[in-house]
Chains A and B, each alone.
Chain A
């Protein structure tokens, strides 16, 4: 038994060094990353902007990712951090009537267009505060356990749980008995 597990470890350590597949692994994760990004930002074009920023930051910081830990959780954490930061920036710039910083595409035209296409679920999701929206997406769409979602967000499990419940209650009220 021991001999075999040592053998398997040896093989796979070798596979790891022979096969630095960071980009490939990210590519495999891309559909899920886009789903989370679109859910957070509320429309595909902002979602893909968020995805792009996330991938760029991940590539720049790839040495910080510990081999053997979950790449998906690491990516989701980067994404939600960027999203929170960008949200704060946006709020500040709207409050002070300063024009948008270059590179963050939230032109009013695009926003209106997107608003027209929003379905009931999208509208209900966009009405949730950020902390509830990310909790709902991580658990109910991305399928993370509460503990995993709390680690991604960086909060205690109990906090995650109560944000999730508030988010759900709001969604059920908004979407009515359709749900």
Chain B
């Protein structure tokens, strides 16, 4: 079997799959020289990434940001927009028959900071973080203790995921530190085996996701891609 330079580079980048990956991996394991080449490719990649990383932390010059400044809408436009939003909310009662009885009484949706060791932490615990890191919406069992309802990009460009479980539902967005809770609602109380994915407690969460989302919900491909980038 011939291993080309392209193979080695692609292997180092995680671009090979299936049989070819197995073959190259075996060759690399058995050959110190090849293993060293893989190592050099990875080291080069790390070096380049590090070299250009500081640009991300710099403030972009004003001549660039000003091109993208949002025109401030006049008050009257705001008013119309607000009405449009109110109406669109009213037009959302597709799940209203489920949610309506519960809305007034039980759903207080607010930024809620769970306490960890007495300190308020806006970040989700490791167990929930693991679910948010790994789970794809399309491939989860309805029996899961905590389900991810949908994923989207926020207006700031962060990846956010709405989740729901017996313990609570909410929206968390990924930043440098972890999954930061943006909202927390009540848990969904339904039997997990019934056909209802969006339970009563999820209605407000979904409505809030609508407010926060900068675009459509991620589909499975987009979720996979986002997961591969650690949701950042």
Contact = CB atoms under 8 A, between A and B. Distances in A.
Interface of A: 1, 3-4, 7-16, 18-19, 21, 23-32, 34-35, 38-39, 44, 48, 51-52, 55-56, 59, 67-68, 119, 121-122, 136-137, 139-141, 143, 145-146, 161-162, 164-165, 168-169, 171-172, 175, 178-179
A56 B63 CA distance: 11
Contact of A179 (B10, B13, B40, B55): B40
Nearest to A55: B67
Contact of B214 (A24, A31, A139, A161): A24
Given A32-B56, A52-B67, 20 more contacts: A14-B88, A15-B210, A15-B211, A18-B210, A23-B69, A28-B155, A30-B64, A31-B58, A38-B55, A44-B55, A55-B64, A139-B13, A140-B44, A140-B48, A140-B49, A141-B48, A164-B9, A168-B41, A169-B5, A179-B44
A23 to B, nearest CB: 5
**Which size bracket describes the interface of B in this complex?**
35 or more
A122 B60 CA distance: 20
Contacts of A32: 56
Contacts of A121: 47-48, 51
Contacts of B153: 25
Contacts of B95: 7
A172 B40 CA distance: 8
B55 to A, nearest CB: 4
A11 B56 CA distance: 33
Contact of A30 (B44, B53, B65, B149): B65
A30 B15 contact: no
Interface in B57-95: 57-58, 60-61, 63-65, 67-70, 84-85, 88, 92, 94-95
Interface string B92-118: 101100000000000000000000000
A18 B85 contact: yes
Nearest to A1: B197
Contacts of A19: 155, 213-215
Interface string B136-168: 000000100000011011011100000000000
B173 to A, nearest CB: 13
**Chain A's interface: helix, strand, loop or mixed, by majority?**
helix
Given A19-B213, A55-B68, A24 B155 contact: yes
B44 A48 contact: no
Contacts of A8: 149-150, 198, 206, 217
Nearest to B8: A165
A11 B206 contact: yes
A112 B6 CA distance: 36
Contacts of A169: 5
A49 B119 CA distance: 47
A27 B217 contact: no
Contacts of B63: 48, 52
A14 B210 contact: yes
Contacts of A24: 68, 70, 155, 214
A29 B157 contact: yes
Nearest to A169: B5
A7 B51 contact: no
B216 interface: yes
A129 B149 CA distance: 46
A34 B68 contact: no
